[in-house]
A and B are shown apart, each in its own frame.
Chain A
């Protein structure tokens, strides 16, 4: 089956610092990458969608200058949370898509805690 590697699995950082989360598709090429956020006891909410080589499309209410997404290759995408604040503490999950009509796979997620 498809293998998705997401790092780090957890990170604690101080308020005001930036955190980079990496997502790699190890055995397929991800033409599209989805980034989700999940707050405690809530469902997954889509933050942004990126296609390789293009700018990401952000969902309403998600600040593009705060959550920087880079999808430079078909196997790697990064999400950088800039100037993190405690309210950014959440579980961030990437989901690379190989092609249309394929079940979407997920990384193992990154639990971010901002103190």
Chain B
């Protein structure tokens, strides 16, 4: 059975701090790993990672995939209160329907 595990489950930091969120996976036919941010409603897409070792950046957020370690990290620098959310990672298989397997999520809280 495919498994995606995120750590930590929750994290509380002060505004301005840098955080690193972890995602590890054990899936068959792995193609890509995706990161999402979920506030009160549905997840919003952040990154899609397919190649190992290539960092993707968007503003203060960056992410990288390590296929050898079957893991990915999401970094947020200079955190702001608006970064408070649940961060979800999910894996996408290579064949068949594009069925995402989600991790448990990391609840990030930024204290002003």
Contacts and interface: CB of A to CB of B under 8 A. Distances in A.
Interface of A: 6, 9, 32, 34, 42-46, 49, 51, 57, 93, 95, 97, 100-109
Interface in B63-112: 88, 90, 92, 97-105
A108 B92 CA distance: 21
Contact of A43 (B44, B98, B105): B105
A100 B88 contact: no
Interface of B: 31-32, 34, 41-45, 48, 88, 90, 92, 97-105
Nearest to A9: B41
Question: Could you tell me the dominant secondary structure of chain A's interface residues?
Answer: loop
B99 A103 contact: no
Q: Report the 7 A-B pairs with minimum CB-CB distance, sorted nearest first.
A: A106-B42, A43-B102, A108-B41, A109-B42, A44-B102, A103-B45, A93-B42
20 contacts: A32-B98, A34-B99, A34-B100, A43-B88, A43-B104, A44-B43, A44-B100, A45-B102, A46-B99, A49-B97, A57-B97, A95-B100, A97-B98, A100-B98, A101-B32, A101-B98, A103-B48, A104-B45, A104-B92, A104-B98
